[in-house]
Structure 1
């Protein structure tokens, strides 16, 4: 089954998103670009990242990649929705470990912080990883989901 990958970026991440998109388009993923479609210097990260996070929350994508200037704002807005487990990642270990241990489903990257080559390595590690689901990881994820179900309205 081909993974459905969503991409989104504001002005701070637009350039990196476009480079990632060009590389991923020629690979084995179905890509959905949630914008921006062009550089808009005054756009706001919540407007750009929310549609990607909503798609993840609704099960319309399998993984997401959100890019803003630092990656921090992208992670904040993405994590407001049920079912989204987003994290700001700056190196490859956390990119795969976040999926394997925590079932992370949205990768947040800082377009002004991480260079293109490293960003591609991070994205590859994220997309190749699979959730482990072993006892302690499953136990921890269930606790996270219990918190989500208790405090986030679905």
Structure 2
């Protein structure tokens, strides 16, 4: 798989640790979307880039890191079709994929240590969506589509 990874300056150190871990302990390719230093970077832009790459199938899955893992999850989930889940333990990482077909997991560098984070990422990357909760995921996708369709119709009306 090709894994997109990114984060803000708060997540930079953990992102670098996870990037190295994935490259050295798996056969997955890593695409780094930044931050590329500990200089201040706003997390939404990085999260949007990873979400877009996942959506456009330029990468298969994503890992995002900020201080809490929450900001990057909120930002990534704004991208249509994306399901990003904040995970800080191996069970939630596995379930993010198995129950929700989450294409992205997020972690908080101020919440989880590097060794535990490696185990979380490993757990996430070692499971494949089996479709067992397809009915539930379809409900999420359908609701998102309804919302997006309505917003498109509303925008078209207001531009006339």
List 4+ stretches of structure 1 deviating above 2 A.
none
- TM-score, structure 1 as length reference: 0.92
Q: For 1:141, which of 131, 137, 144 is the aligned residue?
A: 137
Deviation at 1:152, TM superposition (A): 3.0
Matching of residues 1-154 of structure 1 within 5 Å: 3-26=1-24, 27-40=26-39, 42-134=40-132, 137-152=133-148
Tell me the alpha carbon deviations over residues 68-125 of structure 1, each in whole angstroms, 9 at most, x when there is no partner.
0000100000000112110111111010011011101100000111000100000000
Deviation at 1:132, TM superposition (A): 2.0
Query: Which structure is larger by alpha-carbon Rg, 1 or 2?
Result: 2
Structure 1 unaligned residues grouped into runs of 5+: none
- TM-score, structure 2 as length reference: 0.89
RMSD: 1.3
Could you tell me how far apart the structure 1 residues matched to 2:57 and 2:93 are? 21
Structure 2 unaligned residues grouped into runs of 5+: 153-160
